């Protein structure tokens, strides 16, 4: 959603005001409300609609290949985690292992981002979709 000045916010329809204020306060917004607002007031959602247009241009078989590659990447990194599947009691009883796990996870995050970029470039960059590392 585009940033609104105070006067734009005051003059915006109530659904737009609700979405804008809720998002500024980091409150959840129901997808049906968001969809209704995008349909009724597209001028406030130019960026989102452009992203959707680009995503809709990706053929279904490319999307499937992309999601398969991402799932394999996630599984690879999950299985390489030294304490994969350990519960909270394991770390409560072995606090030194917890700090070891945190250090490992932080190091692997950058590796996952780099792998995700390669997968994104292979499947989606030709459609003009930008990589978002927050989605990794």
Number of structural domains found in the chain: 2
CA distances from 98 to 34, 50, 51, 67, 72 (A): 40, 43, 39, 31, 26
Q: What is the mean pLDDT of the chain?
A: 88
* Whole-angstrom distance, CA of residue 55 vs CA of residue 90: 42
pLDDT in tens, 12-59: 999 999 999 999 999 999 999 999 999 999 999 999 999 999 999 999
Domain that holds residue 92: 59-135
81 and 40 within one domain: no
Residue whose entry in the numeric block shows the structure tokens 């599984």: 75
89 and 65 within one domain: yes
Answering whether pTM is above 0.75, one says no
Count of CA atoms in the C-beta half-sphere (13 A) of 74: 8
Domain annotation covers residue 1:
no
27 and 91 within one domain: no
pLDDT in tens, 52-109: 999 999 999 999 999 999 999 988 887 777 666 677 777 788 888 777 777 887 888 8
Domain annotation covers residue 123:
yes
């Amino acid at each position: 959603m585009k940033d609104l000045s105070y006067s734009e916010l005051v003059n915006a329809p109530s659904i737009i005001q609700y979405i804008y204020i809720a998002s500024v306060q980091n409150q959840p917004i129901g997808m049906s409300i968001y969809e209704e607002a995008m349909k009724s007031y597209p001028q406030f959602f130019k960026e989102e609609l452009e992203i959707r247009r680009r995503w809709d241009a990706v053929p279904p078989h490319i999307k499937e290949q992309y999601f398969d590659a991402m799932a394999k990447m996630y599984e690879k990194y999950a299985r390489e985690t030294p304490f994969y599947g350990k519960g909270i009691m394991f770390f409560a009883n072995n606090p030194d292992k917890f700090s070891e796990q945190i250090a490992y996870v932080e190091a692997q995050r950058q590796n996952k981002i780099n792998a995700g970029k390669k997968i994104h470039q292979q499947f989606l960059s030709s459609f003009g979709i930008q990589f978002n590392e927050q989605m990794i």
